[in-house]
Amino acid sequence: MMNTNNGHAATRTRKILFVTNPESGQANTILAMAHEASTRPHIEVHIASFAIFERRVKSLSPRLNFHLLEGKDMVQVLTAQGFSERELPHPPTTKSFAAYGKILWSMLTAWDGESYMRIHESIKKVIEELDPGVVVVDHLLNAGIDACDSLKREFVINSPNTLLDLSRALQPWLKGFWYYPATGAGVPFPIPWRSFLPNIMASIVLIWRMVMSPEITKLIEYRNIHGLPGRLPMESAPVRAVHVICPSIRETEFPLVVPDNIGLYGPIVLDTTPIEDSDPDLNQWLNRGETVLMCMGTHFYYSESQVKAVLDGFLNAVPHGSDTQFLWKLSEKSRFEDLIRETLKDPRDENRFKIVEWLEADPASIMKHPNVVAWIHHGGANSYFEGAIAGLPQVILAQWYDLYEMATRVEYLGIGIYGNKKVAPNIEAVEFGTAVARLMRQGKESEGFRMRAKAVAEACRKAGGKRTAVDKLIKIIDG
């Protein structure tokens, strides 16, 4: 009898529904799991999201079923409200609490009450029609969690962010609010005495602003009036979820207590087309010698002074006689052509730089090239985890909110450097160049960065990422 049941469980079709925001920062891990699940026998994969996401889902695999949610996505709403991504950068909150203002809460509560409830009902409809074996919800899509609660459905939370982000409130002795760096604080870890009180103050101000935010309060009240009790569900979802999928492992984290329902899977990343296929010309260029790769993410915009600082910093770190190359994805490159030409007037320097507005190959596939030896980025979670599994030492030029915590994390782990600690969110040539030089110059320190980065990568690969995460989802369905 037991064997018959096992055979039935192995052959019956199971449905997995992923519900997500479409922004890459939130959706990439869900896409990676959805694609992995679609390769498994007897698994039917569904993704519910907004219109802008449909093309990306359908281009990834014909086995992924897309369900359109009503309404506008978060970026559309914020853009209509006059929000600009250029407003995101801010100094560490130990210097100014202004970052805990309207911009942060606008991102968390982009939709007004009426739009929120329309999305909530749209998600409910998808769940009722599909009756999936498990629903996986993006941690920041509150309406999705509310929909599961309304239908009394168990749900799994997915977050692309770190274990600290998900479990801060669950740490013993309230350590999440005083022992670890506060969101946006940019303080070292372990926290030195001089930063202890400013860090606690940052946590208090963040909580106070969250509780008192008129945007959040208005949305909560609208939800309550329309039958959704309590505060925004993302605040308690990591406790209430049947399981939480987290891309951290202990080797990529601060020392933390791991709640029982949070699974640590390591980086959850999409498979990428090999660079020799996606961009043969770039592959040939990389074949010439060791290369530093820099990409600051889609939400970052450079000033002229920052472009100058990066150019001068790298030239100071890796002087004329070196063969080390610099591959740099520079958005709006055309704005800075004169500056680049003037700074790289020595043909030997110009020959070592490849500066592009767009990379045809995915950065994750570029990192797999054996000549790529360091990774410079803004500190986004996806960028951090891609660097971790690639085994590359990292320089983080932190810009906002949790990116500061990520810069502190790589220094604590010994796998990278907080490259704009003195001037963040700005970039300064000497500080940046010094960070690059510490990774590139031959010696005990640079070798230590490389060895620790490789050890972290090995641990990430052993954790299994999307494969073990999908295994867990199937196990949840099968009970």
Interval 430-478: pLDDT, tens: 999 999 999 999 899 999 999 999 999 999 999 999 999 999 999 999 9
- Verify cis geometry, omega within 30 degrees of 0, for the bond prior to 91: no
CA distance 22 to 451: 36
Global pTM reads 0.95
CATH 3.40.50.2000 fits 275-462, yes or no: yes
CB 98 within 8 A of CB 90: yes
Interval 417-434: pLDDT, tens: 999 999 999 999 999 999
Mean pLDDT, residues 368-395: 97
pLDDT confidence bin for 8, thresholds 50/70/90? low
- Measured between its terminal Cα atoms, the distance across the chain in Å is 17
* 29: Cβ contacts below 8 Å, ≥ 6 apart: 158, 159, 160, 245, 247, 268, 269, 382, 466
Interval 20-35: pLDDT, tens: 999 988 899 999 999 9
CA distance 372 to 454: 13
Mean pLDDT, residues 69-80: 92
Interval 133-155: pLDDT, tens: 999 999 999 999 999 999 999 99
Q: Where in the chain is the domain with CATH 3.40.50.2000?
A: 2-266+464-478, 275-462
CA distance 37 to 13: 12
Residue 2: predicted pLDDT:
40
CATH classification number, 2-266+464-478, choose in 3.30.70.260, 2.60.120.10, 3.40.50.2000, 3.30.70.1110: 3.40.50.2000
Burial 8-19 (b: 16+ CB within 10 A, else e): eeeeeebbbbbb
Q: What is the mean pLDDT of the chain?
A: 94
Residue 97: predicted pLDDT:
84
Interval 152-168: pLDDT, tens: 999 999 999 999 999 99
Interval 241-281: pLDDT, tens: 999 999 999 999 999 999 999 999 999 999 999 999 999 99
Percentage of the chain modeled with pLDDT above 70: 97
Interval 306-354: pLDDT, tens: 999 999 999 999 877 788 999 999 999 999 999 999 999 988 888 999 9
Interval 359-378: pLDDT, tens: 999 999 999 999 999 999 99
Q: Give 144-147's long-range contacts (Cβ < 8 A, gap of 24+).
A: 144/19, 144/20, 144/48, 145/233, 145/234, 145/237, 146/120, 146/223, 146/228, 146/233, 147/19, 147/120, 147/121, 147/123
